[in-house]
Every structure is written in C-alpha cells, then in structure tokens.
Amino acid sequence: MVEGNKKGKQARQYFISIEKAWNSPELIMARAIKSANYQIDNFSKHIKTLEFKIENDKPRVEFAKTVEGTTEKITIGNLAKLTDGKIGRNKLFKLLRDKKVLMKGNIPYQKYIDRGYFEVSERVIKSAEKDIIALTTYVSGKGQVWILGKIEEWLKIEKEKIEAENQIKFETKKEMV
C-alpha cells in the first residue's frame, strides 16, 4: 500500500496495528488454546465412539476368542446357522465358491487349508459296483471367525452394489419421464 497521502498512511498504520495485535503473545496463546481445546473435543468424541464400539463388540470378541481357540470343527451348513439367518447353507456355499474360497465340489483351495481355516476329511462309501470316496469340508474355529467376518464384509459390498444399481435404474427412469 502506498503512503503517498494521508488516507494511505492511516490505512497502513491501521493494518500495522492489527498485525501487532494479532501477533501479540496473548492472542497467540489464546488461538493455540482454542485450537488445542478443539482437538481435545474431537479426540474425546472419537474416544467415546471407540469405547461404544468396544462395548458393542464385546460379545462378538468373546465368541471369537472362544471359537478360535477350540479344536472342534463344524460343517459349512452349521456355520450358516451361526449367521443368524443372514445367509443360508446353499447361498454360503455359492458365496464361498464365487469368492474363490471353495472349488467346485465345495472343497477349499489349498491356501485356505494351509491357513488353518478348513479341514477336509474323506470317507469311503461302499456300494455294490464300486467304492466311492466322499470328501467333507469342515471349518475350524479360526475359519469360523474369518468366514463370519468376511460374510459381513461381502454382504455389505453386495448391498451397496444393489443400491447403486437401483439408484442408476431410478435415475434412468426419471430421465425418461
């Protein structure tokens, strides 16, 4: 700003005084305290949200700890019953095949067996013509926790996908009218 006249000098002096006040130690501390209080409030809200989530997740965590540590194995059909009706046995088999967890014949891929999620047992079914080897897939405790977590994730993605498709259909119909 040019001080060529009295008004310019007044304006310059005004801005210099504002800058001095802004940079005074008292105002700097006041701004710092205000910023710190704002951050504390945000962190407090975040902590409360996390504490609420911890309380809500306690039963699941206890279940997961119990199941994960067990040596008992269950069938995939019985695992479907643990989803509280979110998915049935056949849909669970299909979902696991679609997600490349199970192969054709509902046998898990080796990497999931190696991770300890599944066990496959064989039994011989004797018939008049020949003996047939039947394979049955069992889910370990670790696998139950993993699959139940994945089911939540996969179903959420499916739901979002369907909602997005419905939104596109709705917008297309709206444009046609």
Question: What pLDDT, in 10s, does the model give residues 103-120?
Answer: 988 999 999 999 999 999
In this predicted structure, what is the pLDDT of residue 4?
Answer: 75
Q: Which of 141, 16, 13, 154 is nearest to 71 (CA)?
A: 141
Of the spans 31-35, 148-152, 157-161, which averages the highest pLDDT? 31-35
Q: Looking at 44, 67, 90, which one is the last position of a domain?
A: 67
Distance CA 8, CA 108 (A): 82
Exposed e or buried b per residue across 55-79, where buried means at least 16 C-beta atoms within 10 angstroms of its C-beta: eeeeeeeeebeebeeeeebbebeeb
In this predicted structure, what is the pLDDT of residue 177?
Answer: 63
* Co-location of 38 and 81 in the same domain: no
Q: What's the average model confidence in pLDDT over 132-148?
A: 88
Q: With a cut of 90, say whether residue 42 has pLDDT above it.
A: yes
* Co-location of 49 and 81 in the same domain: no
* Co-location of 57 and 105 in the same domain: no
In this predicted structure, what is the pLDDT of residue 145?
Answer: 85
In this predicted structure, what is the pLDDT of residue 2?
Answer: 57
* Co-location of 56 and 86 in the same domain: no
> Among 25-34, 101-110, 144-153, 162-171, where is mean pLDDT lowest?
162-171
* Co-location of 23 and 81 in the same domain: no
Q: Looking at 50, 67, 84, which one is the last position of a domain?
A: 67
Which residue range(s) make up the domain with 47?
Answer: 6-67
* Co-location of 89 and 159 in the same domain: yes
pLDDT > 70 in the chain, percent:
94
pLDDT digits (tens, 9 = 90+) for 4-23: 788 888 888 899 999 988 89
pLDDT digits (tens, 9 = 90+) for 57-71: 777 777 777 666 667
Q: Is residue 103 part of a domain?
A: yes
- pTM value surpassing 0.75: no
* Co-location of 108 and 124 in the same domain: yes
In this predicted structure, what is the pLDDT of residue 168?
Answer: 82
Task: Domain count for the chain, please give it.
Answer: 2
* Co-location of 91 and 133 in the same domain: yes
In this predicted structure, what is the pLDDT of residue 69?
Answer: 66
What is the secondary structure of the chain as a DSSP string? ---SSHHHHHHHHHHHHHHHHHTSHHHHHHHHHHHHHHHHHHHHHHHHHHHHHHHHHHHHHHHHHHHHH----EEHHHHHHTTTTSS-HHHHHHHHHHTTSB-TTSPBPHHHHHTTSEEEEEEEEE-SS-EEEEEEEEE-HHHHHHHHHHHHHHHHHHHHHHHHHHHHHHHHHHHH-
